[in-house]
Amino acid sequence: MLNFVEVQRQLMGMVQEQASRRQDFGQRVGIAEQEAKRWTAGYPHLARKIAGSKTSWLVASFQTPPAQVFPLPPRPERWLVFASDGSQIFPDRHEAMMCYLLNIGSVMLPYGFDLPPQLNNRPRLFYREHELYHRWGGRRVLVNEEVVALRRHLREIGELVRLAQQWSQRPAVALVDGTLILWTLEGKPPDFRREILSRFLKAMDNLRQLGVPVAGYISSPGSTDVINALRVGLCPYPFANCDRCEWLQRNESPPCAIIEGVTDAQLFERLLKPGERSALFASNSQILSEYGDHRVHFFYLHAGLEIARVEIPQWVAENDEWLNLVHAVIYDQAQKGRGYPVALAEAHEQAVVRGAERELFYEMLETALVRQGMKVSMTFKLMAKRTPTI
């Protein structure tokens, strides 16, 4: 049981400490804003400096001024929105049988078309040997939570393809909750990385061929790719090399640290008005070197109640019509959803597996085993969890 007296003491200390830092932090954000505007004319020089620098953090690339702002484009007269989200019951070796469940929720919302909205969820149980094991560095290993999450992401993208194939009306936009960058594949064995990437990129190919731009919507983003680009601009050397930074070698704060701790969202909260988007930026995540034409670009959008990061593949970034469509539709969706895209909110409601549903799932599993005359056993750890002793 929590010692709430001690927790309260620590909470008060945390709040007091944060309050004392607030004024200093506001100054940091103001400096970041000034730096972004400083490169309005000289952004090609900053872009070259970034390309030749070696940093210890992820830095965005850009081809337009980093502080450039784009107004809200007009909406089309009619359009469709496809959205998907997923949830899961992870495999648990303490339960009666090893298996896992993926539940993919999806919606099709029509605007201006004489069509009814469509809301669905598609649960899928995985229990066969080839579903529970996978190739990992030439070895056959049991799936873990990270692998299950990646497979869920693949099924979310696959559901968008299914919707785009089912509904031919255009224009249409496909939305997924979260990033399009498969960060967790970085550093993974080549065989596993190829398996996941090939399926993901095939789905992206399908969406492009179907003429449906896709976007990943990231609410409350904490990324600092653009801030890191501005930090490179603050470095006094012709090119930054964090490994040889003389200030760090002397255990001193380097010049770039003056905006350290600021996020991109906090910067663009100063630069954007509701409905406006930022310039386009390119992510330089290592895994994107294997994305080809689907390399991820992103922009920040003032969605009304928050600054969101919107990720799009390169083929959307290079098509002004699709880029403006994504911009207009996502903002409209956020207004309809009171700050968050309504299609994604509905897809989440279709997908989410709550705690009580998880318990019912395992009860149904045990009942099915008993009806087949199979012995049901559980570990001592699970028995202890289900049978409180005090």
Residues 205 and 147 in one domain: yes
* 381: in domain: no
Q: Alpha-carbon dihedral of residues 360, 364, 366, 368, nearest 10 degrees?
A: 180
Relative orientation angle of helices 4-38 and 264-271, to the nearest 10 degrees: 60
Domain co-membership, 201 together with 283 = yes
Rounded to whole angstroms, the Cα distance separating 168 from 205 reads: 17
| Pairing verdict, β 214-218 and 172-177 | parallel
Q: Are residues 247 and 274 in the same domain?
A: no
Q: Look up residue 171 and give its two tokens.
A: 């224009």
Kindly give, in sequence order, each residue whose CB lies less than 8 Å from that of residue 299, ignoring residues fewer than 6 positions away.
277, 278, 279, 280, 281, 309, 310, 312, 327
Residues 256 and 311 in one domain: no
Residue 42: domain span: 28-57+225-260
**pLDDT tens digits for 296-342?**
999 999 999 999 999 999 999 999 999 999 999 999 999 999 999 99
Euclidean distance between CA atoms 195 and 137, whole angstroms? 12
In one letter, which amino acid is 308?
A
**Can you give the C-alpha Rg of the chain in angstroms?**
24
Q: Give φ, ψ of 111 to 5 degrees.
A: -130, 115
pLDDT in tens, 145-161: 888 999 999 999 999 99
Same-domain pairing of 185 and 205: yes
The reply to whether 229 and 218 lie within a common domain is no
User: pTM of this prediction?
Assistant: 0.88
Same domain? For 198 and 148 the reply is: yes
Domain count, the chain: 2
Residue labelled with tokens 């709550």: 354
Confidence of residue 94 (pLDDT cuts 50, 70, 90): low
Is residue 375 scored above 70 in pLDDT? no
Q: Which of 130-134, 170-174, 349-353 has the lowest mean pLDDT?
A: 130-134
Q: Which helix (H) or strand (E) covers residue 123, if one does?
A: strand 118-126
